[in-house]
Every structure is written in C-alpha cells, then in structure tokens.
C-alpha cells in the first residue's frame, strides 16, 4: 500500500463516523515489540479480524514488514488468513484446538495450518489422523482454560511422537500485573515442560509478558493487543503508537436550561444551562452503552477543539450526546468532527471510562464506520 489513505466501501455520506487505521503505526509497534523480545521471533496475533481493524490490510502490512508467524483462534480464520497471504512465507497457528471433524481437519491440512492441540484427546486424534504432521502443543500452567496438564505433557514427551511437536506454548493469566506471583509460578511450570520437548520451539509471552523483567522470551513471543496500540504496561506510560483513530461529525447542536434531562430514562440532568452536541454514533457502532454518563457516574469523553468534553446521558443505538459547553464555539458547528479515539483519547482511556478493557473496545469496532487505511 502507498502512503495515501485507502478507503473501504462507498463514498462517505451524511453522519457516518470515520475510522482511520494507521498501518505504519501497526508495523512500528510490531517492530518495537520484536526489538524488545530479540533474539526471540515476534509473532502477530490477528484473530478476531485483527482485533477489529481488518485482518487483510493488517496481515499484509505485517507480512511485508517481515512477520512470518501468525496466530488466530478458529480454523476458518486460519484458512482465510492463508488465502490473504498467498505465497508469502507464514506459519499460521490455530489456537482453539482440533475439532473431531474430518472435513475441518482436511481443510486445515490443505491450508497448511498448525493446530494448537489443547487436550490429550486432541493429541490422540491428531496422531491417529496425521501421525507424521507437526503441530503445536498448548500446556496449561494455571489458567484452566485450554491446554493439557504438565503431567499429560510428560507422558507425551516420553514418546517418539514428541518430535512432532513444532511449538510448545502456554499463556499467562496475569502478565499485565508484574508483581502477581502467578507469573513466576507459570514460568516455572512452563520451563519444566519445555525441557520435555528439546526439538520444539517454546512460547510463553503475550504482549504484557514481553515486559515482565524476570521471564525469558524463549523462541517466540505472541503479541496482539500492543501492536494495535493498547498499553501492555498498565500503570505506566504506553510505549505503543496509536493505531486507531475514530472521529464522528456533530449532527445537531442545542442549548438546554438547568434541569433538562438527556437521553433514555433521564439518567443525566443539566446542572446549569448547557450546550449539547449530538453525534451519530452509538452502541451499534461499538461505542459501548457502558460509556454513558449519568448523575452518579461520569461517562466517556470526546475531544473537541482540544478540549475533553463528557458524554452525557445514555448512549443509544445510533446516537449519543456530548456536553460541549466548555469547547470552543468554532469547533462545535454541525458537521465538525469530534475525536472519540486517537491522539488524545487512547483505547485504554475509553475502556476505563466504559468500565471494560481495551480489547473489547477494539473488537467492537463497527462495520458501519467509514474506514480508511493509511500507510502500510
């Protein structure tokens, strides 16, 4: 892609919000994580449509930058990614295991996908179906979600078939909390299992795990949230560049008197005469209802003319209201753009005010936005 903006869909019309995705920032974040993890290889996690930004432009930009290992959740995601990447060199890993479905297994083999086997049953099925084909092995070190136990890994590691394990991996449960003792416990458990598979590559660290001071990066790190601009070091400044920028136009401006209510169920009332702007973005667009502002709880914010202005009242399906009383009048005319995500409002800022995590903010990005890609 060139450095020009790449539009998707038809021409932008009316009150449609604009989602700008900076592929140069995405690549820069991946390179920064790779430099921190070196000499380990840096894989990109592109599941859930590349965390909502669009798997095709994201994967192509990362591949062109030199990324050769990708992780997705489902087989259909893996097959779609293989088609996107074409002949480009890429190891694609499917995290959610191996279904007992001959058609699904055949499709996985045809697309040259590595299943990440997460149970003893899946290991047995894989050996019965394709005994000479390599796969990844997920070991549960305390998360109790997916993965075989260390005891089951020891049994597999003692068999000749252990040479068919291309990658042994586990997943941190609390790596964003550097002082959480579970990190050290998981590292110790994984390190012991890793010794059972001397010919396999090893992978433990996710985005936040790359920043843990006492945990080795092994052979491969799997970075997702951080490369999309999320902060892998909560409580400290975000070392990542902003990737997602969301702007919405003001579609109506009004002045209300003290005591006037806004939105459904009158959850917010004006404390004094206020100036309000309505934008055509709501929870159907991914601006979560939990971002609403009420008398009891401040909601999310928008940046208008350099001023942070609160969302007031309930976010509805297609609309929300912003108190722009303190914003410059020249920045609040109908048609003026307000920032919901971007240089001023980070993903984690919006997430905190919506009582959620940045992952949900990203993966909720709507197809209704007018998307444009820059860089890459």
Q: Among all residues, which ones are annotated catalytic?
A: 47, 264
- CA–chain centroid gap for 253, Å, is 34
In 82-241, DSSP assigns E strands to: 91-94, 114-117, 135-138, 165-169, 201-203, 220-223
Q: State the Cα–Cα distance between residues 103 and 108, nearest whole angstrom.
A: 9
Both structure tokens of 376: 């890459």
Name 284's Cβ contacts closer than 8 Å, sequence gap at least 6.
Answer: 317, 318, 366, 368
DSSP 258-284: TT-EESGGG-EE-SSSEEEEEES--GG
Q: State the Cα–Cα distance between residues 132 and 139, nearest whole angstrom.
A: 21
Tokens 């290889």 belong to: 41
Q: State the Cα–Cα distance between residues 329 and 154, nearest whole angstrom.
A: 68
């Amino acid at each position: 892609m060139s450095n020009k903006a790449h539009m998707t869909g038809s021409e932008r019309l009316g009150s449609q919000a604009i989602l700008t995705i900076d592929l140069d920032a995405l690549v820069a974040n991946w390179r920064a994580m790779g430099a921190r993890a070196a000499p380990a290889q840096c894989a990109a996690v592109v599941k859930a449509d590349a965390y909502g930004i669009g798997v095709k432009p994201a994967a192509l930009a990362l591949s062109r930058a030199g990324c050769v290992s990708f992780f997705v959740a489902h087989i259909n995601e893996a097959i779609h990614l293989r088609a996107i990447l074409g002949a480009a060199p890429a190891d694609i890993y499917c995290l959610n295991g191996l279904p007992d479905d001959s058609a699904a297994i055949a499709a996985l083999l045809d697309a040259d996908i590595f299943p990440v086997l997460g149970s003893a049953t899946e290991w047995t099925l894989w050996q019965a179906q394709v005994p000479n084909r390599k796969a990844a092995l997920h070991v549960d070190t305390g998360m109790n979600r997916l993965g075989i136990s260390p005891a089951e890994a020891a049994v597999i590691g003692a068999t000749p078939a252990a040479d068919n394990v291309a990658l042994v991996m586990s997943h941190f449960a609390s790596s964003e909390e550097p002082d959480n003792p579970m990190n050290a416990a998981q590292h110790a458990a994984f390190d012991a299992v890793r010794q059972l598979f001397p010919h396999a590559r090893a992978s433990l660290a996710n985005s936040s795990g790359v920043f843990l001071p006492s945990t080795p990066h092994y052979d491969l790190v799997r970075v997702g949230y951080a490369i999309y601009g999320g902060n892998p070091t909560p409580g400290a400044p975000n070392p990542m560049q902003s990737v997602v920028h969301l702007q919405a136009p003001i579609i109506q401006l009004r002045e209300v008197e003290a005591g006037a209510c806004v939105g459904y169920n009158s959850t917010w009332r004006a404390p004094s005469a206020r100036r309000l702007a309505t934008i055509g973005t709501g929870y159907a667009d991914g601006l979560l209802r939990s971002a609403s502002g009420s008398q009891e709880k401040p909601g999310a914010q928008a940046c208008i003319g350099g001023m942070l202005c609160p969302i007031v009242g309930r976010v509805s399906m297609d609309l929300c209201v912003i108190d722009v009383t303190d914003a410059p009048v020249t920045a609040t005319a109908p048609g003026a753009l307000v920032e919901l995500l971007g240089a001023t409002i980070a993903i984690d800022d919006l997430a905190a005010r919506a009582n959620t995590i940045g992952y949900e903010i990203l993966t909720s990005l709507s197809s209704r936005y007018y998307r444009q890609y820059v860089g890459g």
